[in-house]
Chain A
Amino acid sequence: RKEVEQDPGPFNVPEGATVAFNCTYSNSASQSFFWYRQDCRKEPKLLMSVYSSGNEDGRFTAQLNRASQYISLLIRDSKLSDSATYLCVVNKGSYGKLTFGQGTILTVHP
Chain B
Amino acid sequence: EPEVTQTPSHQVTQMGQEVILRCVPISNHLYFYWYRQILGQKVEFLVSFYNNEISEKSEIFDDQFSVERPDGSNFTLKIRSTKLEDSAMYFCASTWTPGGNTIYFGEGSWLTVV
A residues whose Cβ falls under 8 Å from a Cβ of B: 31-32, 38, 41-46, 49, 87, 91, 93-103
Q: How far is B45's CA from A4's CA once the two chains are assembled, in angstroms?
A: 13
Interface pair A94/B100, CB less than 8 Å apart: no
Interface pair B102/A95, CB less than 8 Å apart: no
> Which of B55, B56, B105 is close to A45, meaning CB atoms less than 8 Å apart?
B105
Q: In the assembled complex, which residues on chain A have CB atoms less than 8 Å from the CB atom of B31?
A: 95-96
Q: A91-B98, A101-B42 are in contact. Are A96 and B107 (CB under 8 A)?
A: no
Interface pair A98/B103, CB less than 8 Å apart: yes
How many residue pairs link A and B with beta carbons under 8 A? The number is: 61
Q: A95-B98, A100-B42 are in contact. Are A42 and B56 (CB under 8 A)?
A: no
Interface pair B108/A99, CB less than 8 Å apart: no
Please report whether the interface of chain A is mostly helix, strand, loop or mixed according to DSSP: loop
Q: In the assembled complex, which residues on chain A have CB atoms less than 8 Å from the CB atom of B106?
A: 43
> Which of B43, B95, B102 is close to A100, meaning CB atoms less than 8 Å apart?
B43
Min CB distance B92 to A, Å, is 9
Interface pair A43/B103, CB less than 8 Å apart: no
Q: In the assembled complex, which residues on chain A have CB atoms less than 8 Å from the CB atom of B98?
A: 91, 93-96
Judged by a CB distance under 8 angstroms, whether B75 is at the interface is no
Q: In the assembled complex, which residues on chain B have CB atoms less than 8 Å from the CB atom of A43?
A: 91, 105-108
Q: How far is B100's CA from A93's CA once the two chains are assembled, in angstroms?
A: 8
Interface pair A96/B42, CB less than 8 Å apart: no
> Which of B99, B104, B110 is close to A93, meaning CB atoms less than 8 Å apart?
B99
Kindly report which residue of chain A lies nearest to residue B91, judged by CB atoms: A43
Interface residues of B in 34-51 (CB under 8 A from A): 35, 41-45, 48, 50
Q: When each residue 86-114 of chain B gets 1 if its CB lies under 8 Å from chain A and 0 otherwise, what string results?
A: 00010100010111101111111010000
Min CB distance A50 to B, Å, is 11
Interface residues of B in 47-100 (CB under 8 A from A): 48, 50, 55-56, 89, 91, 95, 97-100
Interface pair A95/B89, CB less than 8 Å apart: no
Q: How far is B101's CA from A46's CA once the two chains are assembled, in angstroms?
A: 11
